[in-house]
Chains A and B, each alone.
Chain A
Amino acid sequence: MNDMTPRTIFTPAPPRIIAERPAKVVAEGVNVHYGEKRAIHDLSISIPDKAVSAFIGPSGCGKSTFLRCINRMNDTIAGCRVTGRITVDGHDIHDRNLDVVQLRARVGMVFQKPNPFPKSIFENVAYGPRIHGLAKDKTDLERIVVESLKKAGLFEEVKDRMLQPGTGLSGGQQQRLCIARAIAVNPEIILMDEPCSALDPIATARIEELIHELKQNYCIVIVTHSMQQAARVSDLTAFFHLGNLIEVGDTDVMFTSPQDKKTQDYITGRFG
């Protein structure tokens, strides 16, 4: 379970949360290249289930790239090559027999900018279940939509305007709509790529509260530029720098006494 690589420091080694929770995602020796450029160097990490793991680090450090490896979103980028082993529940996600579309249904994603489809609120959430055939009939679909919206804490706000366009909502509501859309296909893992960077503090707080609730049932991985946010919502924090995973540790420890000097400098605002 503790994949010690010489590069990565565990604070303290290994983090308690990994010992407490089963590992959902395990990466071993992952390298990512964009053409000639190496974006991630020999990365190994275990991500615990039913917990929030935060990736922090300066821009271009590879945290988003690694996040997008987990649901193989990097496949869509021309010239991007991923090597190494990433397993979800022990199954290699690069296995030939594993369908990438199925993988993405299990590993939902929420993006930096709220990106609802320019369709109605209902259609936004119903799209996923529909293409995966998750609903038996129309009432079943409605049930899934309502449940997903409730889980995303948005139902009360939109129940009277389900047929109005999702793009008409406020930024924070749009982001929660995107979370509801991700939840609707029943994922096990939710990846969030800077989900609050376009939101005001109140909307951010709502999303963070939602993340806190969702971690009861999902394995959540969040990339964030806000150290305070990582400190507030996550259980495990991983610090990336120049494509290397520098330090992984329990969030409590990472933000009070990180071991690596780079981590220390970054989280105290001395570089980055």
Chain B
Amino acid sequence: MPDHIMKAYDDDLAALQSMLSTMGGLAEEQLARSVEALTRRDTKLADIVIHADDRIDQMERAVEEKAILTIAKRQPMAKDLRNIMVAIRIATDLERIGDLAKNVAKRSHAISDPIPRRLTSGLQRMGQLAQAQLKRVLDSFAAADSEQAMEVWRHDEDIDALYNSIFRELLTYMMEDPRMIGACTHLLFATKNIERIGDHATNIAENIYYLVHGQPIRDERPKKDDTATTPFSPLNND
């Protein structure tokens, strides 16, 4: 796409883009660190993550301000308008991802007892998966590549499936050993948070699709997270 006749307009849009990529990098890092802090129950690292979240919040506000200013000054149309709207939405998603990462990190304070390795490995795998999704979706945003974004969108079901199995696993642990219920509940929330991060990544993917095509995705997203619909019966688990 050729440049705008007004160069400053291009500069405005480029500034938004670069703010978002910085924010995306931060969110990725926060996610990685929070999972690490939780699995190692490293409260120092957790505190770093919690403090760093303020920066993401600030950046979200900065993106919003920049977007509003650009709308007011340039009266964007068509793709430019979508670009700015999508930037605002992605910023919100990234800010939520930051919050969720902070939440995950916080739980390393709450879990005092050592967790069995078997449990943390599932968490780690899920963290890696979510991180990979987030990275891919941010790359596809930078390249305005809707195909890659659609890949991310379709692969969210992997995270859902993993979450599903961890959910069942944790249930089993809790039934086996009621002393584990506290720690497992925290872990359950943490995995749920990571699953939510995956959902935000798919949100971003949907926004990228809208940015490129000018229309929202019409299909239903494949979902593997059936924990909300599965009746819980401790007697009936496999």
Contacts and interface: CB of A to CB of B under 8 A. Distances in A.
A and B touch in the complex (CB under 8 A): yes
B171 to A, nearest CB: 46
Interface residues of A, number: 17
B146 to A, nearest CB: 13
B221 interface: no
Contacts of A255: 77-78, 81
A257 B4 contact: no
Contact of B1 (A227, A256, A270): A270
B1 A265 contact: yes
A102 interface: no
In this complex, the member of B2, B78, B80, B215 whose beta carbon has the largest number of chain A beta carbons within 10 angstroms is B78
Contact of B75 (A228, A263, A264, A265): A228
Given A256-B214, A257-B213, A267 B78 contact: yes
Interface in A223-272: 227-228, 231, 254-259, 263-265, 267-271
B79 A268 contact: yes
A111 to B, nearest CB: 26
Q: How large is the interface on B (under 10, 10 to 19, 20 to 34, 35 or more residues)?
A: 10 to 19
A13 to B, nearest CB: 14
B76 interface: yes
B86 to A, nearest CB: 12
Contacts of B5: 269-271
Contacts of A267: 77-78
Interface in B78-111: 78-82
Contacts of A265: 1-2
Contact of A231 (B77, B79, B82): B77
Nearest to B76: A268
B102 to A, nearest CB: 35
Contacts of B219: none
Contacts of B81: 255-256
A263 B214 CA distance: 14
B6 interface: yes
A135 B82 CA distance: 53
A268 B4 contact: yes
A87 B9 CA distance: 43
A54 B166 CA distance: 58
20 contacts: A254-B78, A255-B77, A255-B78, A256-B214, A257-B79, A257-B215, A258-B214, A259-B214, A264-B1, A264-B78, A265-B1, A267-B77, A267-B78, A268-B80, A269-B5, A269-B6, A269-B9, A269-B74, A270-B1, A270-B3
Given A254-B78, A269-B77, A269-B80, 11 more contacts: A257-B82, A257-B214, A258-B78, A258-B214, A268-B4, A268-B76, A268-B78, A268-B80, A269-B5, A270-B3, A270-B5
For the complex of A and B, list the 9 residue pairs with the smallest distance between their C-beta atoms, beginning with the closest. Answer: A257-B214, A267-B77, A268-B80, A270-B2, A268-B78, A268-B77, A255-B77, A267-B78, A269-B4
